[in-house]
């Protein structure tokens, strides 16, 4: 296979305790640490490993959004992606349109694989990979925890509710990756320097001929109803008594 496309979404870092804005218009992102969506880092790591084992010749990192997402693409280049594309979008963009962007790029680049995180930790939608497979008319193997490339096919182990499912897909295909697929490498300082010289192209959304589907509008945002801290018991006897009290045992 020639090329692998990987999606890198810029999201609020997973260690940040998010705050809902007081006017209910969304989640505070100003002055908050932003990072690559953790699942997308795993996607990139997998692509790099496939390339390093001779399964592909080039890894292209793609982000869709504002120009700030260049930071995440530079990190991706430092991890080892060969080049990066920022599809410039000013406001929000819906999952179906994002899937359309990846389809356009997959066709343009003649990609053998598009590897994406199984969900982004901000919207938790888990839609884009499956939508891309539908629009592109290619196989999808979601929630992957094991990937083996065999020529024109890939064997993928999927984490499903019932256990581990294995599917075989013809390439090109779309993979969505789960947490246990790999552990992403750390970026070293010389790699950051090298990444500055790697190509990062900016492409306006309109150039890809993507027609946005009807969006799902967010009307309001609120903090969830919290749970209260309850009682502390001293020992097992106290615990059993408390459970009996609640009629639970």
Contacting other proteins within 72-131 (CB under 8 A): 94-96, 99, 118-119, 121-131
For residue 146, the minimal CB distance to other proteins (Å) is 11
Q: By CB under 8 A, tell whether 22 contacts other proteins.
A: no
Closer CB to other proteins, 193 or 223, in the complex: 223
Closer CB to other proteins, 199 or 238, in the complex: 238
Task: Pull the structure tokens for residue 173.
Answer: 């295909």
Closer CB to other proteins, 53 or 232, in the complex: 232
Among 2, 68, 107, 170, binds other proteins (CB under 8 A): 170
Task: Pull the structure tokens for residue 62.
Answer: 């793609």
Total residues binding other proteins (CB under 8 A): 83
For residue 232, the minimal CB distance to other proteins (Å) is 5
For residue 98, the minimal CB distance to other proteins (Å) is 10
For β-strands 58-65 and 140-150, DSSP reports them as unpaired
Closer CB to other proteins, 92 or 207, in the complex: 92
For β-strands 200-204 and 173-177, DSSP reports them as unpaired
Q: What is the distance between the terminal CA atoms of the chain, rounded to a whole angstrom?
A: 58
- Torsion on CA atoms 232, 234, 235, 236, rounded to nearest 10: -20
Q: By CB under 8 A, tell whether 32 contacts other proteins.
A: no
For residue 47, the minimal CB distance to other proteins (Å) is 20
Q: What is the 3-state secondary structure (H, E, C) of 24-79?
A: CCCECCCCCCEEECHHHHHHHHHHHHHHHCCCCCEEEEEEEECHHHHHHHHHHHHH
Site string for other proteins, 187-226 (x = CB under 8 A): --------------------------xxxxxxxxxxxx--
SS3 191: helix
């Amino acid at each position: 296979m020639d090329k692998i496309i990987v999606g890198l979404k810029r999201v609020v870092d997973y260690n940040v305790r998010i705050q809902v804005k007081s006017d209910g218009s969304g989640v505070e992102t100003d002055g908050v640490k932003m990072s690559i969506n953790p699942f997308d880092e795993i996607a990139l790591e997998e692509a790099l490993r496939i390339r390093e084992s001779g399964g592909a010749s080039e890894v292209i990192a793609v982000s869709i959004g504002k120009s700030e997402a260049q930071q995440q693409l530079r990190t991706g280049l430092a991890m080892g992606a060969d080049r990066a594309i920022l599809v410039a979008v000013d406001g929000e963009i819906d999952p179906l349109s994002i899937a359309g962007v990846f389809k356009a790029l997959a066709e343009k680049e003649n990609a053998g694989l598009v590897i994406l995180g199984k969900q982004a930790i901000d919207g938790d939608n888990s839609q884009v990979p499956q939508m891309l497979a539908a629009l592109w008319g290619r196989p999808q193997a979601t929630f992957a925890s094991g990937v083996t490339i065999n020529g024109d096919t890939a064997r993928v182990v999927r984490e499903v509710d019932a256990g581990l499912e294995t599917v075989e897909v013809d390439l090109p295909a779309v993979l969505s990756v789960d947490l246990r697929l790999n552990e992403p490498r750390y970026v070293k300082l010389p790699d950051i320097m090298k990444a500055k010289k790697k190509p990062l192209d900016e492409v306006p959304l309109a150039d890809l001929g993507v027609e946005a589907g009807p969006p799902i509008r967010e009307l309001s945002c609120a903090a969830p109803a919290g749970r209260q801290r309850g009682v502390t018991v001293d020992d097992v006897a106290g615990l059993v008594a408390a459970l009996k009290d609640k009629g639970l045992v």
